């Protein structure tokens, strides 16, 4: 058993590395530089989507050389644990007021895009000065509205991944790299 593998036999073991910790760090540095240049003279408000984005948010915030503010929200999507239903419930709302702010949603992964489109609609209704999205990973098997993804880390094949904040049944968020769950099956 790998040191990473859950003791619970129902939790699949993480497989091969899809994005190494080194490549994550390099890419996050570049994203931070882009945001620093694009928002020069402003103070963007990073909105991290819990829990998956917590590690990305932490590294990205340190890669941005601007006076950023941070807030978090937690959402849960009804339905299958590994497939988004598009029906999203806000479990923890933001503490800060978005009115007049330059808001950047920080997401772990975009699959169907349903969670993101719900979030965008919800946050736009709070009258931010601007609203952009920074997603670490994007599954490349969906037709997404590209105009809503201002910043993205990596396009990845449609495989279920864990690590660097992402989970399967709450496991493996603390892996330093992104790994594939090879045994994942659809119901
Ligand atoms: P969407 O609404 O279909 O875009 O799904 C987005 C959400 O589903 C993400 O914020 C994740 O919480 C979860 N998700 C989608 N794909 C994966 C994956 O490969 N690993 C872990 N979580 C995922
Ligand atoms: Mg998520």
Chain segment 87-103, per-residue pLDDT in tens: 788 999 999 999 999 99
Pocket perturbation via mutation, ligand 1, pick of 108, 168, 180, 183 by most ligand atoms within 8 A of CB:
108
In a domain, 137, yes or no: yes
pLDDT for residue 126 is more than 60? yes
Check which CATH number belongs to the domain holding 108 and give it: 3.40.50.2020
Q: How confident is the model at residue 187 (pLDDT cuts 50, 70, 90)?
A: very low
In a domain, 7, yes or no: no
What is the extent of the structural domain holding 42? 18-78+89-182
Beta-sheet pairing, 178-180 with 17-19: antiparallel
Distant-in-sequence, close-in-space partners of 146: CB < 8 Å, separation ≥ 6: none
Residue 84: per-residue pLDDT: 59
- Report the separation in Å between the CA atom of 125 and the middle of ligand 1, taken as the mean of its atom positions: 24
Q: How confident is the model at residue 76 (pLDDT cuts 50, 70, 90)?
A: confident
Ligand nearest to the CA of 54: 2
Catalytic residue (choose from 102, 108, 111, 177): 111
Task: Note if 38 is an active site residue.
Answer: no
- Residue 105 and residue 116: Cα distance in Å, rounded? 9
Burial of 46: CB neighbours in 10 Å, binned 0-12, 13-18, 19+: buried
At 12, which helix (H) or strand (E)?
Answer: none
In a domain, 56, yes or no: yes
Tell the residue number behind the tokens 């949603």, with chain if given: 105
- Report the separation in Å between the CA atom of 2 and the middle of ligand 2, taken as the mean of its atom positions: 26
pLDDT for residue 85 is more than 70? no
Q: How many domains does the chain have?
A: 1
Distant-in-sequence, close-in-space partners of 47: CB < 8 Å, separation ≥ 6: 71, 72, 73, 94, 103, 104, 105, 106, 123
- Report the separation in Å between the CA atom of 173 and the middle of ligand 2, taken as the mean of its atom positions: 12
In a domain, 9, yes or no: no
- Residue 177 and residue 107: Cα distance in Å, rounded? 16
pLDDT for residue 150 is more than 60? yes
Pocket perturbation via mutation, ligand 1, pick of 57, 84, 114, 168 by most ligand atoms within 8 A of CB:
84
Task: Give the model confidence (pLDDT) of 43-72 as tens digits.
Answer: 999 999 999 999 999 999 999 999 999 999
- As for ligand 1, residues whose beta carbon falls within 6 Å of it are 52, 84, 107-116, 160-161, 166
Answer yes or no: are the C-beta atoms of 135 and 108 closer than 8 Å: yes
- Residue 162 and residue 13: Cα distance in Å, rounded? 10
In a domain, 24, yes or no: yes
Atom of ligand 1 nearest to the CA of 166: 21
- Report the separation in Å between the CA atom of 42 and the middle of ligand 1, taken as the mean of its atom positions: 30
Residue 1: per-residue pLDDT: 45
- Residue 10 and residue 169: Cα distance in Å, rounded? 10
Q: How confident is the model at residue 10 (pLDDT cuts 50, 70, 90)?
A: confident
Residue 14 half-sphere exposure toward CB, CA atoms < 13 A: 26
Residue 175: per-residue pLDDT: 97
Pocket perturbation via mutation, ligand 1, pick of 15, 83, 111, 119 by most ligand atoms within 8 A of CB:
111
pLDDT for residue 39 is more than 50? yes
In a domain, 84, yes or no: no
- Residue 57 and residue 165: Cα distance in Å, rounded? 10
């Amino acid at each position: 058993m790998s040191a990473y593998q859950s003791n619970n036999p129902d939790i699949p073991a993480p497989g091969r590395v899809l994005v190494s910790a080194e490549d994550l760090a390099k890419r996050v540095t570049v994203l931070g530089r882009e945001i620093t240049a694009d928002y020069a003279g402003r103070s963007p408000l990073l909105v991290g989507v819990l829990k998956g984005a917590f590690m990305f948010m932490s590294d990205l915030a340190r890669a941005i050389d601007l006076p950023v503010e941070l807030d978090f929200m937690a959402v849960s999507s009804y339905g299958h644990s590994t497939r988004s239903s598009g029906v999203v419930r806000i479990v923890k709302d933001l503490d800060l007021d978005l009115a007049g702010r330059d808001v950047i949603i920080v997401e772990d992964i975009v699959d169907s895009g349903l969670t993101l489109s719900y979030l965008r609609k919800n946050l736009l209704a709070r009258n931010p000065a601007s609203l952009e999205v920074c997603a670490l990973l994007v599954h490349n098997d969906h037709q997404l509205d590209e105009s809503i993804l201002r910043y993205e880390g990596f396009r990845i094949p449609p495989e279920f991944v864990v690590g660097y904040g992402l989970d399967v049944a709450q496991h493996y968020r603390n892996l330093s790299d992104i790994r594939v769950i090879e045994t994942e099956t659809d119901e």
